[in-house]
Structure 1
């Protein structure tokens, strides 16, 4: 599998790589300082939630960067304009999380310090690193947006050379691409919310805890099935998955309301991660709404000529002579591969 050998594609990949390396280094420093600054000898760790919250925030943030690298490579390999634009918005989401993370880690450190569970100089040491992260994300987002604009023009030329002039089929394929891109972003925010809930929120009943773990595994399987059924144009499967989306939407709305409208004791259980969980819940709800709409549009487009172009993966040669598998839409006027853009 290769990515197009152009200055803009390599620039986009390089910016993503540099941003990830710097952010991971800063997060690793904060994590290391936190582990060496704790004073939990002779203490009951289960009696304090903060020692678990800070590593969880850092772990979710670090996974977000690693997952972004995978999505960047995938978008460039497929010349997927939709996913490139989505990555700019993804960076904005991570920027928001970085800003929230600063506030929540400060609150956790304050609670630990009041109980004399952490050294006093920990916060002054890590605060500059945590402030640098949103600044890094802001700069990265601006550069990403510029490069996405350049890649849009670059990929558009490839599409112009290869794809048919059938605008209706192009729009159907565009809808399909948006749907697949949404599934990839849904996965991260589903996972991020669930992991934080499992680790940070206290006094969760055994039933709720077990159901949340089950949701973690079922979500991954359902997202794979969602992609499989849309490629196969399976109407029954898509109806099932759309119903599941509505159930997931109800679940996140319930969690969001519960964080602010439950009884006082339960609100306190959510408090250590409420800001972070709220941001993930709101973004996930918005993604689910978009996914439901696009899933319905994809289902409406079944049996209208798109299936042969997305169902099978045909072997094809890469630019570097190696074996590759073509997952893009072929031209309707010939055997050459083609990619999609926003019309």
Structure 2
């Protein structure tokens, strides 16, 4: 049997986390510099300048979320979640690239002029946009470079502990398939949380008037969606049929929340969303697709209830070390598994 490395005990695990930490620091520094330069000259209370506060808030949340997901994936030795992190990181590249366009849309209203006419609103040389443009371009480049390195270490991590990820359910192919769908479901719920929170953060920054109906609807949706995600996680984890049924129904109902996508392009609200529309559109579409995929996988997991998967799972800490204890007998010693050994958890 292959040796099992402890949590953050191997070079690959340490390197994977180090890459994410260094990348997060560099990216947040670039975004903070951009935010600082722009804040000196513009009023963020104006709707056409709200793209930068959205950008900063989302990337702070995204980097923290990615780090938590990475630690969780290594702690659980979850190869599926590591693959999800790679997809998430690739999405951050797209998001950072879109932000170059959105910042230009916010700052450049007079493209055929230079800084002598308007430092803030021109797109020529020696203007505000040209001052922050290098920092905006560096951000997706740093994320892309770290993504390539991450791919290498994910491959190494798969070789390190990929053999053990389905070990808890034995050699039964049907049980392994059920376990895979279970893990995909749990992973999707985590990314659903990020996408919903990301859309909500943007809407709350853009729609700052707490007296508006849209602000109220956005706030009201928060506890409903959190209940949906937590309930679905508990239901699939413990095979609670009634809760899973309610969660699946709420998932279908939550799809109607994406009517906001139409609002982004209505003439009456065009100016309000013009500089954040691209990001909001991408986040909303991705959230819609993820929730739809979660519903489909949820149906598959629901069909696997009462087929033995729940009994195969443990609720102990993840398996990072397996020990053997020598038990004394009259004629010598006999190696037996330690009754206190830590087993693999898939929660």
Structure 1 length as normaliser, TM-score? 0.83
If you compute each CA radius of gyration, which structure gives the higher value, 1 or 2?
A: 2
Shift of residue 319, structure 1, vs aligned partner: 4.9
Name the SS of the counterpart of 1:3 in structure 2. coil
Q: Which of the residues 234, 238, 242 maps onto 1:232? A: 238
Higher fraction of helix: 1
- The C-alpha deviation readout for 1:238-279, integer Å capped at 9, x for no partner, is 111111111222222x2223333x3x2233433221101111
Residues 1:29 and 2:33 aligned together: yes
What residue number does 2:9 align with?
A: 5
What residue number does 2:143 align with?
A: 137
CA contact (8 A) 1:163 1:338 kept: no
Alpha-carbon distance between aligned partners in 1 of 2:119 and 2:214, rounded to the nearest angstrom? 30
Shift of residue 161, structure 1, vs aligned partner: 7.1
CA contact (8 A) 2:207 2:215 kept: no
Gaps of 5+ in 2: 1-5, 324-340
Map 1:30-179; keep pairs closer than 5 Å. 30-38=34-42, 48-111=46-109, 118=120, 121-159=127-165, 164-179=170-185
Map 1:172-251; keep pairs closer than 5 Å. 172-201=178-207, 206-251=212-257
Change (3 A) 1:93 1:237: same
Change (3 A) 1:99 1:313: same
* C-alpha RMSD of matched pairs (Å): 3.0
Shift of residue 52, structure 1, vs aligned partner: 3.0
Change (3 A) 1:13 1:112: farther
Gaps of 5+ in 1: 322-334
Q: Which of the residues 295, 298, 321 maps onto 2:298? A: 295
Name the SS of the counterpart of 2:305 in structure 1. coil
Shift of residue 233, structure 1, vs aligned partner: 0.8
Alpha-carbon distance between aligned partners in 2 of 1:110 and 1:167, rounded to the nearest angstrom? 58
Alpha-carbon distance between aligned partners in 2 of 1:73 and 1:134, rounded to the nearest angstrom? 23
CA contact (8 A) 2:27 2:139 kept: yes
Alpha-carbon distance between aligned partners in 1 of 2:193 and 2:204, rounded to the nearest angstrom? 16
| Matched residues, number | 317
Structure 2 length as normaliser, TM-score? 0.82
Point out which structure has higher relative CO (alpha carbons under 8 A, 6+ apart).
1
Which deviates further from its counterpart, 216-225 or 134-143? Answer: 216-225
CA contact (8 A) 2:185 2:297 kept: yes
Change (3 A) 1:194 1:305: same
What residue number does 1:328 align with?
A: none
Change (3 A) 1:197 1:123: same
CA contact (8 A) 2:102 2:275 kept: yes
Change (3 A) 1:249 1:201: same
Change (3 A) 1:217 1:110: farther
Shift of residue 197, structure 1, vs aligned partner: 1.7
Alpha-carbon distance between aligned partners in 2 of 1:164 and 1:97, rounded to the nearest angstrom? 41
- The C-alpha deviation readout for 1:205-250, integer Å capped at 9, x for no partner, is 8222201111123322321121111122111111111111112222
Residues 1:259 and 2:264 aligned together: yes
Alpha-carbon distance between aligned partners in 1 of 2:318 and 2:263, rounded to the nearest angstrom? 51
Shift of residue 163, structure 1, vs aligned partner: 5.6
